[in-house]
């Protein structure tokens, strides 16, 4: 290891899903990087865009189907109301451990200097406009632009 002795200088976190557990994982990692003095940038692509979509970000859910760690039969997870129940239970637990909601978390990230980028291709695919998105969004980028943001020694990329 010769580049900064392997020290992490910058985290580039790509979020491609908007289930609550994935969004929180990505946010905690980005915020945690800043808390350690590491730069952090996030790239929201495909369904991950919902985490920065003004109207959708307040209504993200926990995945109850296709999530083996829920320890719930797939059929049960798909019943009406089950996902909402699991989500409200998770939100209550989050509040207990002082975890902010999605909007407040975004405010914390931007105040901490995390850069937030939306994926251009996904924005076009979902027909989203810049004004539909969270006001702290830094811009809309192509994949190439995002890679350019990550150039330099000590940068790590993470796909969630």
Partner 1 sequence: MEKIIAGIPVEVNEEGYMTNFSQWNKDIGKALAAEANISLSPRHWEVISYIQDEFRKEVPLSIRKIGKSGVVDIKEFYALFPNAPLKTATKIAGIPKPASCI
Which residues make up the interface to partner 1 (CB under 8 A)? Answer: 28, 31-32, 34-37, 98-100, 104, 108, 111-113
Residue 125 to residues 18, 47, 121, 149, 155, Cα–Cα distance (Å): 16, 11, 6, 23, 29
End-to-end CA gap in the chain: 26
User: What is the nearest approach in angstroms of partner 1 to the Cβ of residue 121?
Assistant: 31
Q: Is residue 150 packed enough to be buried (19+ CB in 10 Å), middle (13-18) or exposed (0-12)?
A: middle
121 versus 158: smaller Cβ distance to partner 1: 158
Residue 134 near residue 116 (C-beta atoms within 8 A): yes
User: What is the nearest approach in angstroms of partner 1 to the Cβ of residue 55?
Assistant: 24
112 versus 142: smaller Cβ distance to partner 1: 112
Residue 91 to residues 11, 39, 65, 68, 101, Cα–Cα distance (Å): 27, 28, 18, 19, 8
98 versus 131: smaller Cβ distance to partner 1: 98
99 versus 121: smaller Cβ distance to partner 1: 99
User: What is the nearest approach in angstroms of partner 1 to the Cβ of residue 107?
Assistant: 8
User: What is the nearest approach in angstroms of partner 1 to the Cβ of residue 102?
Assistant: 13
């Amino acid at each position: 290891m010769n580049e900064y002795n392997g020290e992490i200088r910058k985290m580039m976190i790509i979020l491609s899903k908007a289930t609550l557990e994935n969004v929180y994982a990505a946010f905690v990692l980005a915020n945690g990087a800043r808390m350690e003095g590491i730069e952090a940038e996030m790239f929201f692509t495909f369904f991950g865009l919902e985490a920065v979509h003004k109207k959708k970000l307040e209504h993200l859910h926990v995945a109850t189907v296709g999530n083996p760690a829920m320890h719930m039969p797939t059929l049960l997870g798909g019943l009406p109301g089950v996902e909402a129940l699991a989500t409200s239970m998770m939100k209550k637990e989050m509040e207990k451990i002082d975890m902010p909601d999605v909007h407040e978390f975004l405010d914390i990230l931007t105040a901490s200097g995390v850069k937030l980028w939306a994926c251009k291709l996904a924005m076009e695919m979902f027909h989203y406009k810049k004004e539909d998105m969270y006001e702290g969004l830094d811009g809309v980028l192509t994949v190439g632009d995002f890679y350019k943001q990550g150039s330099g020694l000590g940068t790590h990329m993470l796909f969630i």
